[in-house]
Amino acid sequence: MPLINVYLRQGTTPEHRRNVSAAMHKAMVDVLKIPQDDQFHVFHEVTPDNFHLQPVAFGLPRSERTMFIQLSFNQRTAEQKNELFQAIVNNLRLFADVPEEDIMMVAFETARENWWAAGRVVDPETGYDARMTDVPAETAATN
C-alpha cells in the first residue's frame, strides 16, 4: 500500500513509465518486503511551465528526464531507507535507462495505523492481511 507519486516531464512514453514503475516496485518488494501485489504508483506528467527547476543543481546539469519520486511508507531504519534508495537507483538504470543524476527522492514516513486499505484485516503479528498466505517468514513489515 505504500503510495508513490512520481513527478516527471511530459514527453515520456507509457512504456517508459511502466518500466519506471516496475523498477521502483521491485526495490520496494526486495528491500521493504512489501507484498508483491502492493503496488500503488501515480505518475504526474508535468508541463515545462509547471516544473520549476534550475538548469544546474548540486553542481550537476539537470536533464530533460529529471524525475522527483515521492515515497510514503511506515517508519524504517536509516539503513533500510538507504538500501531502498540504492535499489531504486540501480533498478531505474537497469529497467528504464534512467541515470542517477536524474533521480530525486523523498520518503514520508508514517505510523503503521495511518493506512487503510480496501477493508483488509491486518494480522498484528505480521503486518500482513490475514488472507495472505505468502508472507515472508523473517519480516513483520508492511507499508
Residues in contact with its own copies by CB under 8 A are: 1, 3, 5, 7, 14, 17-18, 21, 25, 35, 37-46, 49-54, 56-60, 68, 70, 72, 78, 81-82, 85, 89, 100-111, 113-120, 129, 131-132
Task: Report phi then psi at 17, rounded to 5.
Answer: -70, -35
| C-alpha–C-alpha distance, residues 4 and 69, integer Å | 7
Select 130 or 137, whichever has its Cβ closest to its own copies. Answer: 130
CA distance linking residue 62 with residue 112, whole number of Å: 36
Please report where in the chains the cell 512514453 appears, as a residue.
13
CB of 78 to its own copies, least distance (A): 4
- Cα–Cα distances (Å) from 15 to 58, 90, 96, in that order, read 30, 18, 9
Instruction: Identify which of residues 94 and 117 has a Cβ nearer to its own copies in the complex.
Output: 117
Judged by CB, which is closer to its own copies: 59, or 138?
59
Task: State the minimum distance, in angstroms, from the CB of residue 126 to its own copies.
Answer: 13
Q: Which is nearer to its own copies, 14 or 138 (by Cβ)?
A: 14
To its own copies, the closest distance from the beta carbon of 86 in angstroms equals 9
DSSP, collapsed to helix, strand or coil, labels residue 40 as strand
Closest residue by Cα to residue 116 from 32, 44, 40, 41 = 40
